[in-house]
Amino acid sequence: MVLERIYPIELLEKNPFYALLLGAAYGTIGIGAAVLLFPEDPAIVAVAFTALMMYPSINAILRQEEAIEAQNDEIRLMTFMKDHQNSFKVYSLWFIGTLLAFSFFALVLPALASNHIFENQVNVLYGAGTSGKAAFSQSLFMSILRNNSGVLMLSFISAFVFGEGGIFLLTWNASVWGTIFGNLAKTAALSTDKNPFVYFFLVLMTVFPHMILEAFSYIMAATAGGVISKGLFKEKLFSKPWNRILYNTLAFAVFAFIVLLIAVAVETYVLGNAETYRLIIQQSFVGR
């Protein structure tokens, strides 16, 4: 591809912040290309284009980190996290950049256009029906956990089977969250004649803690799946490096699930207690 040749991979390794800009740029290019080339059904194509553009960079970073993992004699979770901290930063910042790109277009485009371009994302249920009467709802917690656990497993399995296949699911989640939050803020602002960007900021600040924890758990699962996919087929079966990579990645997958549990608990509490968030949701339905 041409785009990844514009910047050296060392730029992301030295300063992962550039991944935020790449996420926003690739998201914008992906949306624009999808609308131009597939105007009848651009939603999924925009996600695919965005993921495809980021794939070479993520692949190069994980390949380097897998080589480090194979040479490391320690079998410790914290060592594994340290070895892969750069990919976590790049993944996370790229995820936020992609989310902001989809949010921006959901905010500024007319409702008819954004609903067509992001039809699949808009159709995703985002829990607007919660009444929030209880401080913590066990039934809501289990419902969210079942759904998010499925995404976590898919992130791990797709990365294991396809190498960095998890990047598509991460891009999809970024597009869904970005589109939903942007549409939510826009429709709520229309019903109250307020600034949609102010509403978007309020929504983002409310959901950011559990959103970033949830996204990070998916990123960890995708990283573990990608590393074990590369390492287990590169190293000799049951050799010391093979056993170490297997142990560390499986332990890391378990840790990703623990992070997801925390994210779901935070999300359950937010949905039940964030008055401003619920008010914006109610106003968004008035504005539809």
Could you state, in order of their start, the residue ranges of all structural domains in the chain? 3-286
92-113 confidence digits (pLDDT tens): 899 999 999 999 999 988 877 7
Instruction: Please state the rounded mean pLDDT for residues 191-210.
Output: 89
* Higher pLDDT pick, 99 / 16: 99
Q: Judge whether 115 and 122 are in contact, CB under 8 Å.
A: yes
Q: What is the pLDDT of residue 102?
A: 95
* pLDDT above 50 for 132: no
Distances in Å between the Cα of 127 and the Cα atoms of 8, 64, 132 are 41, 40, 11
- Give the CA radius of gyration of the chain: 20
Kindly compute the dihedral angle of the four CA atoms of residues 237, 238, 244, 246, in this order, to the nearest 10 degrees: 70
Instruction: Please state the rounded mean pLDDT for residues 56-62.
Output: 75
* pLDDT above 90 for 89: no
Residue 128 pLDDT grade (very low, low, confident, very high; cuts 50, 70, 90): very low
Q: What is the pLDDT of residue 133?
A: 45
Whole-prediction pTM: 0.83
